[in-house]
Amino acid sequence: MVNVVKGRTDHVVVVGAGLSGLSAALHLRGAGHEVTVLERQPHPGGLAGRLDVDGHRIDTGPTVLTMPELLEDAFAAVGSKLEDHLELLPLHPAYRASFADGTALDVHTDADRMEQAVRDFAGDREAQGYRDLRAWLTKLYEVERDRFIGASFDSPLDLAGPDLVRLTRLGGFGSLDKAVGRFLRDERLRRVFTFQALYAGVAPKDALAAYAVIAYMDTVAGVWFPRGGMRAVPQALADAAADAGVRFHHGVEVTELERTGARVSAVRAGTRFPCDAVVLATGPAQSSRLLRGRPRRIRPLRWSPSAVVVHLSARAVADDLAHHTISFGGSWNGTFDEIIKRGRLMSDPSLLLTTPTLTDPALAPDGRHLQYLLAPCPNLDTAPLRWDRLASRYAEELVDEMVARKLLVDAEPLAVVTPDDWARDGQAAGTPFSAAHTFAQTGPFRPGNLPFRDGNVVLAGSGTTPGVGIPPVLISGRLAAERLRR
């Protein structure tokens, strides 16, 4: 049993209407709390932001949606149903992987289709390796789901138990790259099942094998897209919360927590909002500011790489694109070294091209397609580059590279998002991927969601337990609500 906030928690103020804050609000309201949500943007979403340009409905945040059952849980907390608020469309294939040697592979979540695709791509031996890998990924997820991903921690001792033994036997504390390499010899296939480590902020050769669960989520459990764009997800959650009696205040900037010791009695955002407890769903930088820099860590946090995103309008798209197309460069380990260790832009980039209008044409004007081109890059701590001077030229280079790879045709930039933009949005080191999932920043070693044992402040979001990505931040909201059990 984890520690819970002592004393009254009848009225909770949630700071931030991102996915974690909305999840917390729904679970709190479902448990009978009075809930007020304060959000500085004029709409819900947080990092799952929105931008409208010339009739294009741009999503400025995450584009890959997995594990929709976590959304179902959030809606169900207030007696609502996902299908009453949101239409989710399954993506087939989940991805298309394009390689520097000219080959390509559709990544299917259906086991039989994917086995045959791998057989056609790399032969019988790799097809059996895929089957064995899929079984291992499933076991790994089953072990981690409730005890490691879906739980709060008060101490490293909370890990102890039979599930820790099972995870160790599965090789969860070894290298991700080596673990996948036990099943697949083809380097191209290994990339398909390890590139997700970048979301965790580490190179596949340095990542814990436990983070293969991210590959489980999109290559086994499946990838979805909401009609209306990713912005439809936070809007649907907010609508369900409002219907259940949660009060929202948009366009308000929280400036101070009125504290006596570790306990907060009110939140100031122009107006004073008295409360019995607070959920800070604001990200590590803002949370640290509001908590006046406490609590402190012995070792400072190491931040994940950042990303440049070029939002594009296209008159036509390449014939062999999927909704999500990953274009791998020839380099691999060297690419991670450049952006994580050496603070350099990728010399041989691997890029994600998302074309949401292949699934929902209404996101762009008639005769146009909307596309997002994402390039991982160093964060501002690793490389404080002058993005005000660099952004336009680098965006052109990325577009030219994808034109040369025959994956972009007749596309014009609508907007460019750089680490400077993430920093202006309050993200530490200019990265939307928060603290890297190194061993020292994983599980009980990650910043906990109860910063003061005797306080009434709880954290939610990618900077705390369990971590980065839509599924983890939705879980973090539920975990925050559980800390405020009445």
Q: Which residue has the tokens 């879906």?
A: 150
* Residue among 462, 469, 351 nearest 402 (CA): 351
Nearest to 209 by CA among 156, 140, 304: 140
Contact 451, 459 (CB under 8 A): yes
How many residues make up the chain in this entry? 486
Distance, in Å, from the CA atom of 279 to the CA atom of 247, rounded to the nearest integer, reads 14
Total-model pTM: 0.96
Rounded Cα gap, residues 100 and 450, in angstroms? 46
Tens of pLDDT along the chain (486 residues)?
678 999 999 999 999 999 999 999 999 999 999 999 999 999 999 999 999 999 999 999 999 999 999 999 999 999 999 999 999 999 999 999 999 999 999 999 999 999 999 999 999 999 999 999 999 999 999 999 988 888 888 777 777 788 889 999 999 999 999 999 999 999 999 999 999 888 788 999 999 999 999 999 999 999 999 999 999 999 999 999 999 999 999 999 999 999 988 899 999 999 999 999 999 999 888 998 999 876 667 678 899 999 999 999 999 999 989 999 999 999 999 999 999 999 999 999 999 999 999 999 999 999 999 999 999 999 999 999 999 999 999 999 999 999 999 999 999 999 999 999 999 988 999 999 999 999 888 888 898 999 998 899 999 999 999 999 999 999 999 999 999 987
Residue 278 β-bridge partners: 13, 457
